[in-house]
Amino acid sequence: MNARELPGVVLAEGPRDPRMYDVDEDFRRVLIDMSALTVASGIRKDRFFHATSAAVGGRLDVVAGPGVPAHRFFRPGRTFRALARFSNSIGTDDVSPTVRGLTLRLIEDSGSDGDRGSEGGRGSDGDGGGDGDRGGDWTTAPGLLDLTFNTGECFFASTAEIFRRSFGTPRERQEVIGENPRVRSVIWDNIRNAGSYATYDLYSQVPQGFLDDNGRTWLARYRVRPLDEPCDPAPYDHGDALWPPDAPNEIGRPADDPRPPAVMRDGLRAQAADAGIRSVLQIQLHPLTDSAAENEAALDASRPWSGERYPWADLAHLVLDTVLDDDTVNRLRFDPALAPPELGIALARSPHSTASLNHLRALIYQATSYARLGLPTPVELAELLRPVVDRAPSRKPSDTAPATSAEAAPGSAPAAAAVDASATTEPRTVCVLGAGPTGLTTALELERAGHRVIVLEARDSVAGKCETVDVDGLPYDLGGHICTNRYEQTAALAQELGLATEDITPIRVIEAGTSGLVAQNASFFRRDVFQRYTRLRAEQFPRIGEPGLAHSAKALSAPLSAWLAEHDLHAMADSFGTGYTAGGYGHLHDDPPALYFVKYAEMTGLMYGNKLLGHPGAFTITGGFASLWQRIADRLTDLRLGVRVRSIRRSTSGVRIEADGMTVEADDLVLTVPIDQVLPVLDATDAERDLASRIRYQPYDTVLCTAQGLPRSGFFFVESNAQGARAPGRSVAFHHRHPAADVYTCYTYRDEALDEDTLTGLLREDIEELGGRLQDVHLRRGWPFMPSFDSADLASGILDRLEELQGERHTYHAGSLQAYDLVESNVAYARDLVRRHFTPRTAGTGERTAPGGSTPDVRTARSGPITAAELTDWMTDRLAEELRLPAAEIDPHGPLEDLGLDSMAVAAVQAQLSDLLGFGIPQTVFFEQPTLAAVASYLADASAGADADGTRPASATPAVHQLPPHVLPLTPARPFFCVGGLGSSAAYLRHLARALGDTRPCYALQLPGLDGTQDPLDDVEEIARLFVEDVRRIQPHGPYRLGGHSSGGVFAYEMACRLRDMGEQVVQVVLLDSYVSVAGQPVPEDNDMAALGEMLLLRHMWCAAEDTCTCKVDYSRPLEEQGQAVAATLGAPDPDTAEKFLTTVLEVYQGGIRAIAVHTPRPSDIPVTLLKPVGGAGRTTPLRNLLQLDAPLNGWEHVKTGGLTVVPVTGDHVTLLAEPHVRDVAACVRTVLGDGPGFVSHHPGNGTGSLE
C-alpha cells in the first residue's frame, strides 16, 4: 500500500511540503503558545534548548544489517559525510545533570559509489545550497537528512498538546502527570550525569517514515551507540523530585565534583582529534498497517516498541575524526523535516494526534532557526504564528484606539491621533535645536511638510550620541546602534536613504572572573509568565508601544521592585535586568520607575515576531550608525554646526535666538534636548524651571580601547557588574565588532570623583578578570544618558504636564525625556510630533493629513451614556433568557426576589452587564436594589457619572455609603458581615440575609478572583487583610459582627483577629458549621477533576435542598466529556467563555483549599459561636483537605478564644442555609448578635457554652 494512503498516516516529502502548514486551529494555538521559544531565540541569537555544544565531523558508511529491507537512501556501501553536534539540553556546565543530545546531518559524499539515490531533502534554506564545497566545507554543502537524538529511549510527551501543557502552568503539568503518571519517569530517564558523549546510548525517540524499495511503508526509530566500547548510561538519581527545573534553570552540578564546566566538550574534541570516535547507527522498524488505531499507537513517542518483536539492527558505521568550528556549525538550521520523501516525518492536522509531536518539533525548529539567525520567516509559517484574537469584552472607543483630543482622559497626554488646533495652514519657520537623531528626524519631517527649517548644533558634527569614530580605517559606534525588530521607523529611514545594513554581532552574557559565557536567563519566556504580562499590558498600559511615555506613565509609575512584586513578574527582571543596566539605563538596585524598564523590554522586540524591516532581523548600519544621520543632514536646507547659543527669547509673535555671530528669528522652536540643558539661555517660566529641576540622568561612559585575550565577535554583558549594586567605573558591557581588529568598545557608569587614571585602572582590572589584557585606551566619551523622572513625579503626572507645554510660547519639546533614550523611540516621537502639530490642513476642510494624504482614523463614541430605560429593557431580555421565561412575564417594577434569582443567573447577567458598561458590576447590586428598574437606574447613574470625565469606576458599588445632607444618624449601623464558603459566589447567603430580616444590614464576602478582576489568593492572612479593607470602607470602626459559612468561618475568624490587632472591638464571630484543618498536613496538590467534583457536589446538594435540580451535568458520564455542561452548571455566563470561567473558578477554589489546609487559627480574646448542624457534614467531605470532621466541636475546641459557644441547629452542612432550616439558623444568629431572645450560658471549665 502506498505510504500516502495508509490510514491515519501522512508522510512529508521534505521541509518545504505545503502540508507542513496545513494544521487546524487547535494546532495553531499550540504553536502560538510555544512561540515564546521563538522570541527567546531571536533575542538571544542562540538556541533556547541545546545551546551549549561541541561539533565534530566525519563519515557514515552504510552496512548490510540483518533484517533491514532494501532502501535507496540507506543502501549498503554508500558513504555520507556526517556532521555531528553534541549538546546539553540546559545550561553551560557539562557537569550539571541534564538531557544529552546529538544532531546528525548527512551530507552527500562525492566519493561514494556514484548513485546518490534520492536527494529530496537537499537544499535546506540557509545551509548552503548549490553544489557546496565537497572537498571539505562541512557547513555550506546542502544537507540530505537531519536526525536528532537524546538520552532516553522515549520522549515524555505523546502529542503536541501534551508537550505544550507539560511546559505550561504548574496546574497544567499536574494534569499531565495525573492523566499519565508514566510521564514523570520518562522525563527523568532522559537526564544523565556527566560522562562521555561517545559512550551514551542516544535515541531518535520520535518515529518517522521509512519507505523501502518494495513500496512497503514502515516507521523507523534510530539509535547511536559506541561501536568498540561499552555503553555508559550515567543515570541520574532524582530522588523524590517531581519534575526537573524549568528552563533555563539547571539541576546544578554535584558540590563535590571538581571537573571543569567544559569537560565533556573538551573530551569529545580531544577524542575526535586523537583516534576518532567510532559509533554504530542502528534502526528499529515497525510496519504500518491498515488500522488507523494501530498506526496511531505505533507513532506514540512516549512508549517503546518491543525489542523482541521489533529488534534493533545495524544500519551504518559512524566515524567522527574532525573537530569543527562550533560557531560556524551553530549557524546551521537543523530541521527534523529535512529528509528525502522516502524518510519523511509524519504530519498531523490536530495537536491531539501522536503524529503531531514530530510535526510540532519541525515547525518549532524552523521558527526558532529563522529568529535565531535573523532571517525572514516564510509567509506560511509566519501566518501560523500570528496570534489568534479572542473575543474581548466590549470597551470604550478610547480603550481600543488612540483617542482624539476630544476623547483624551483628563490628566493624560494627548493621544497620538490628536492634532494641535492652533497650528496654521501657512508654512512656518521652525528652529530646531540639536542635530542628533531627534533633531534631524524632526527637521526632515518639517521640511517634508512644507516648512522652512533652521537646525542649530553646538558640535562640529551631527548624530549626537550616535557618534561613529574611525580607528585604523574601521568604524566604531560609541552610542546607540543596535536595531531590533521594533526599529520600524529607523529601518524605513535607512531603506529610504539607500543605506546598507548588516547583522549585529550576537549578544552574549559573560561572568567576570572567567572567560566562559553564561546562559541568558529566559524565565520570562515561560508561557504562564509571558501571558500574565501580556494580559497586564492589555489592561493597564496598552499604548506602551506607541511613541512617547506619558500615555503609560501613571500606570507604570511605581518603583520597579514594588511593581514586579505586585504582579509576580520577578522573572522579567531576571531576563532583562542585565541588558537594561548594560545599556546605560541604570541599575535595578536603584529601583527605577517600572515605566522605563518596561519600555526597554518592549523595545528589545520581546513581544513581537521577526519582522522584515528592509533587513532580515536585528541590524545596524554598515559603515557606522552616524552615516544614517549624516545622510539626513545632507538633505536638509539649513543646518548650522558649531553654533553656541547665547539666549532664547520667546514672545507672542515668535522666537528669537541669539548665537555667536548670528540671530535667528523663527515662528516656532523645537528643543530636542531636555529643558534643563538649555535653562541657562532660555527665558524659562516657573513651570519649565520646576520641570527642569526634577530631571535625572545616568552618567554613562563609552571607552574605546585595544585589548587582547577577550572574547570576540559579540556584544557581551558583564553579568556580575551589571546585576550587582552600582559600581562606578566597572565595565557593564563590551563590544567586539570587527574580526580583524583588537579594538573594543566598553561601557561603564561614571563617578565624577574618579579621575582618568583611576578609571583606566578599573578598566584594566575588568579586562584582566575576563582573561584579557588592556593595551591602549583611545578615547573616553561621557554622556548625560537616560533623562528621566522619579516615581513620585511620574505618579503626579509630570509627563502629562510636559506634553501640555507643547506649543506654549511657540516651543515644542522632543527627545529622550518624552520618548525614551533609544534611537527608535526618538525617531518615532519626532515624526509623531510633526504630524500632530505641524502637518498642514487639507484645503477646504478642517482636517489634517499625514504626509501620505490620509486623514486620521477617529473612532466615534456612543452619543451619550446608556439610559435606565435601555438598561431595563436589556436586563429584562437577558433575565428572560436565563430563567427561560417570556420577557412579558418579568415585571421590572416588581420585587426582584419574586423572580427566584439564584447566584448562577445573577452571575450570567452580571458578567454581560460588565461587558456592556465597560466596568465591573458586583453581583450584590441585584440583592441591594429592590427591583430590576432600580438596578437599571442605579447603574445608569454610575455609567453617566463615569462618562462625564471619560473614566470608569472600578466598581459600581460606592466605597462608603453617603447619607443625604438632611439625614442625621442617631444610632450607628450594625451590619453583619458573612464570608461565603469555597467554590461559588457568596450570593447563596441571600437566603440567610432575607431570613435575618430588615433590622440589620447583611453583607456577603466572597473569595478574590471569582469576578476575574484580580488574581486568586491562597493565603488566609492575605485574604482576610483584603476583606478587612472592604469591611472598613462600609463600617470604618467597630463594634464589628462577623460570621462565615463552611471555610468562610476560618477567614471570618482571622478577620476578627486582624481587627482586634487594630484596636477595634469585635462583638462576635458566628461560625456556620466551620471546621479547623488538621495541623501539619502538606499543601494539597491541585487536582482539577477532584475540585470540579467537589464543586458540582455542593451545587447539586443545593438543588436537593431546594427540591429542584437545575444542574446540566449528566453525573453518570465522565466530567471531562462535559466541559460546557460543567461550566454552565457552575455559573458560566455564556458558552463562549466557558473555558475561561472554569479556569477562574478552579484557581479560586483550589487556592482556597491550599489556604485553609495549612492555616492554624491563632489564639484571641474574641467571642465565638459555632452553629453546628445535627445532620453533620453531609456528603460534602472535601477529597483533599483534611479537616477535623470527627472533632466534637469541629476542631475549635483546640483554639483559645474569648469563649466558644456551641449551638445545635437543624439540617446539615448545606441545608442549614435552605428552607426550612435557614429560619431557625437566622433566629439563632439574631440572638447571638443581640437582636432576639435567648441567652448564652458559658461553661468556664472548657470555655464553651450553649444557647438556651
**pLDDT tens-digit readout, 649-695:** 998 889 999 998 899 999 999 999 999 999 999 999 988 999 999 99
pLDDT of residue 634: 92
Alpha-carbon dihedral sign for residues 249, 252, 258, 261? negative
Q: Which amino acid is at 83?
A: L
pLDDT of residue 660: 86
- Residue 514 confidence class, pLDDT cut points 50, 70, 90: low
- Residue 1097 confidence class, pLDDT cut points 50, 70, 90: low
Q: Which fold has domain 426-467+624-695+789-841?
A: FAD/NAD(P)-binding domain (3.50.50)
Q: What number of other Cβ atoms are within 10 A of residue 110's Cβ?
A: 13
Burial of 1134 (0-12, 13-18, 19+ CB in 10 A): middle
Q: Can you name the residues that pair with 665 across neighbouring β-strands?
A: 656
The reply to whether 47-153+160-289+306-340 and 972-1081+1161-1251 are identical in fold is no
Burial of 150 (0-12, 13-18, 19+ CB in 10 A): buried
Q: Is pLDDT larger for residue 409 or for residue 595?
A: 595
DSSP secondary structure string, 665-732?
EESEEEE-S-GGGTGGGB---HHHHHHHHT-EEEEEEEEEEEEESS--SEEEEEHHHHHSS--TT-EE
Distance, C-alpha 985 to centroid of its chain: 29
482 has a pLDDT exceeding 50: yes
- Residue 1121 confidence class, pLDDT cut points 50, 70, 90: low
- Residue 1134 confidence class, pLDDT cut points 50, 70, 90: low
In Å, what is the CA distance from 14 to each residue of 31, 122, 143, 336, 818?
A: 20, 9, 12, 10, 51
Q: How far apart are CA 62 and CA 76, in angstroms?
A: 5
Q: How far apart are CA 1180 and CA 1094, in angstroms?
A: 7
DSSP, res 408: P
Q: Can you name the residues that pair with 279 across neighbouring β-strands?
A: 226, 318
Of the candidates 104, 55, 53, 59, the one whose C-alpha atom is nearest the C-alpha of residue 79 is 59
1058 has a pLDDT exceeding 80: yes
- Give the three-class secondary structure for 989: helix
∠ CA 1123-1128-1133 to the nearest 5 degrees?
120
- Residue 171 confidence class, pLDDT cut points 50, 70, 90: low
pLDDT of residue 673: 94
Q: How far apart are CA 208 and CA 354, in angstroms?
A: 11
pLDDT of residue 973: 57
1009 has a pLDDT exceeding 50: yes
Crossing angle for the helix pair 823-837 and 437-448, to the nearest 10 degrees: 30
∠ CA 395-396-397 to the nearest 5 degrees?
115
Record the cell numbers describing residue 403, joined without a space: 483617542
Weakest mean pLDDT among 620-624, 867-871, 1019-1023, 1186-1190: 1186-1190
- Residue 955 confidence class, pLDDT cut points 50, 70, 90: very low
Q: Which residue has the cell 532516553?
A: 152
Q: How many residues does this entry show for the chain?
A: 1252
For the residues 1228-1241, what does the mean pLDDT come to?
Answer: 64
Of the candidates 273, 297, 373, 289, the one whose C-alpha atom is nearest the C-alpha of residue 329 is 373
Q: Which residues contact 66 (CB under 8 A, 6 or more apart)?
A: 313, 314
933: phi then psi, degrees, rounded to nearest 5: -65, -40
Q: Please check whether the domain covering 972-1081+1161-1251 is classified as CATH 3.40.190.150.
A: no
For the residues 1046-1071, what does the mean pLDDT come to?
Answer: 93
- Domain locations in the chain as residue ranges: 47-153+160-289+306-340, 426-467+624-695+789-841, 525-603, 867-958, 972-1081+1161-1251
In Å, what is the CA distance from 98 to each residue of 266, 459, 564?
A: 17, 56, 30
- Residue 615 confidence class, pLDDT cut points 50, 70, 90: low
Q: Which residue has the cell 473558578?
A: 1145
Alpha-carbon dihedral sign for residues 1223, 1225, 1226, 1228? positive
Alpha-carbon dihedral sign for residues 540, 544, 545, 547? positive
In Å, what is the CA distance from 502 to each residue of 303, 482, 491, 505, 626?
A: 47, 10, 12, 9, 14
Q: Is pLDDT larger for residue 1054 or for residue 924?
A: 1054
Q: How far apart are CA 1103 and CA 1157, in angstroms?
A: 28
Peptide bond into 964 cis (omega under 30): no
Q: How far apart are CA 495 and CA 684, in angstroms?
A: 40
pLDDT of residue 907: 56
pLDDT of residue 30: 87
CB 527, CB 169: distance < 8 Å: yes
Q: Which amino acid is at 417?
A: A
Instruction: Count Cα neighbours of 548 within 13 Å in the Cβ-side half-sphere.
Output: 25
pLDDT of residue 414: 32
Q: What number of other Cβ atoms are within 10 A of residue 1112's Cβ?
A: 13
- Give the three-class secondary structure for 894: coil
892: phi then psi, degrees, rounded to nearest 5: -65, -15
pLDDT of residue 396: 28
Q: Is pLDDT larger for residue 819 or for residue 1013?
A: 819
Q: How far apart are CA 203 and CA 1100, in angstroms?
A: 51
pLDDT of residue 963: 43
893-940 pLDDT, tens digit each:
877 766 666 545 565 676 667 667 766 565 556 655 667 888 888 787
471 has a pLDDT exceeding 90: yes
484 has a pLDDT exceeding 50: yes
pTM of the model: 0.48
pLDDT of residue 144: 94
Q: How far apart are CA 1154 and CA 178, in angstroms?
A: 18
Q: Please, what is the average pLDDT of the chain?
A: 80
Record the cell numbers describing residue 1022, joined without a space: 492575605
Dihedral over alpha carbons 340, 345, 349, 354 (to 10 degrees): 170
Q: Is pLDDT larger for residue 888 or for residue 824?
A: 824
First vs last C-alpha separation in the chain: 86
Q: Which residues contact 1101 (CB under 8 A, 6 or more apart)?
A: 1178, 1179, 1180, 1214, 1215
Please give the class, per CATH, of domain 47-153+160-289+306-340: mainly beta
Record the cell numbers describing residue 660, joined without a space: 555667536
Instruction: Count Cα neighbours of 95 within 13 Å in the Cβ-side half-sphere.
Output: 12
Q: Which amino acid is at 583?
A: G
Q: Which residues contact 896 (CB under 8 A, 6 or more apart)?
A: 926, 927, 929, 930, 931, 932, 935
pLDDT of residue 119: 42
Report the chain's C-alpha Rg in angstroms: 35
1196 sits in the region (left: phi over 0; alpha: psi -120 to 50; else beta) called alpha
Which contiguous run of DSSP H or E holds residue 903?
A: helix 903-917
- Residue 287 confidence class, pLDDT cut points 50, 70, 90: very high
Output the CATH code of domain 867-958: 1.10.1200.10
Q: How far apart are CA 1216 and CA 1211, in angstroms?
A: 5
